[in-house]
Amino acid sequence: MKINWGTGIVLAFIGFIAFIMYFIITMNVNDKYDHDLVTEDYYAEELAYQKDIDKLKNAKNLSQNITYKKTEEGLIIMFPSNIDYKKITGKMFLYRPSNKQLDFETTISLSNPHLLIPDSRLVDGRWNIKIDWQYNGNSYLFKESIDY
């Protein structure tokens, strides 16, 4: 059977449409490609963003800021050594951009100048860490993207 140029164009269009439909169906059905919004209350958080900017500015004015390091036990968050760690309060939030179920929040309660996040809680990959902490009536914020 001989295929003329008109039949070839129609077959090319059908092949292209089939490829696009396969791509669309795969992206909608497969959970691997499912990504959620960063937060559910986007607009409420947007209104509180100026407070976060002020907290970040306070943290930059510290002589020492929060540092972290990865160890075999997990991720160690070290608070500034020049302040009394017993007076530190606040919350820490770890956000996993690729999987909402891995996100977690914990209250800061220190018995030594560092906080250990166990290795069992963290999956390898990118994490966004946000530590909102208070010391002597001042609020501070530490935000960082880390690869664990």
- State the CB neighbour count (10 A cutoff) for residue 125: 13
Task: Assess whether pLDDT exceeds 80 at residue 74.
Answer: yes
Q: How many CA atoms lie within 13 A of 55 on its CB side?
A: 18
User: For residue 76, what pLDDT is reported?
Assistant: 87
User: For residue 38, what pLDDT is reported?
Assistant: 62
Q: Where are the alpha helices (DSSP H) in 30-143?
A: 42-47, 49-60
Each domain of the chain, given as residue ranges in start order, spans: 1-34, 42-147
Q: Which helix (H) or strand (E) holds 56?
A: helix 49-60
User: For residue 33, what pLDDT is reported?
Assistant: 72
For residue range 29-61, what is the model confidence (pLDDT) as tens digits?
887 776 666 667 777 777 778 888 888 888 888
Q: What three-state secondary structure class fits 37?
A: coil
Say which CATH topology domain 42-147 has. Answer: Immunoglobulin-like (2.60.40)
User: For residue 39, what pLDDT is reported?
Assistant: 65
The widest CA-to-CA distance across the chain, in whole angstroms, is 87
